[in-house]
Amino acid sequence: MKKFLAIYQSTPESVAAMANATPEQSAAVMQEWMKWKAAHEENIIDFGAPLMPADVVGGATPSAASGYSVLQAESLEALKEACVDHPHKEIEFLEFIAM
């Protein structure tokens, strides 16, 4: 199995919307994540966590990353297929390099 870092991308507006969501709205979003997790346990190494921007060093551009997961699949194509029903639609995949 290949390992991938899934980086969830969000706009500043969607981050602000989640920060201001009601408890009911937050619970509904989390329910969709848990539904995906239950259906795709074989692809999950580390379910991950939300991220908040901290600092930019050395001229790097600010990131739109709002969370991450460590996932696995036989190929990138297989992982993309597993993520068709993922609740987060903007996902960047980076493949781990075996060392």
The tens digit of pLDDT for each residue in 18-45 reads 889 999 999 999 999 999 999 999 999 9
pLDDT at 84: 97
Query: Which three-class secondary structure state does DSSP give residue 35?
Result: helix
Tell me: the pLDDT tens digits for 48-92? 999 877 777 787 777 889 999 999 999 999 999 999 999 999 999
- 47 in Cβ contact with 37 (< 8 Å): yes
- Name the amino acid, one letter, at 91: I
Per the model's pLDDT, the better-predicted residue between 14 and 22 turns out to be: 22
Q: Which residue shows structure tokens 């009601």?
A: 22
- 79 in Cβ contact with 8 (< 8 Å): no
Give the class (CATH, top level) of 2-54+63-95. alpha beta
pLDDT at 9: 93
Q: Which residue shows structure tokens 């408890």?
A: 23
> What's the whole-model pTM score?
0.88
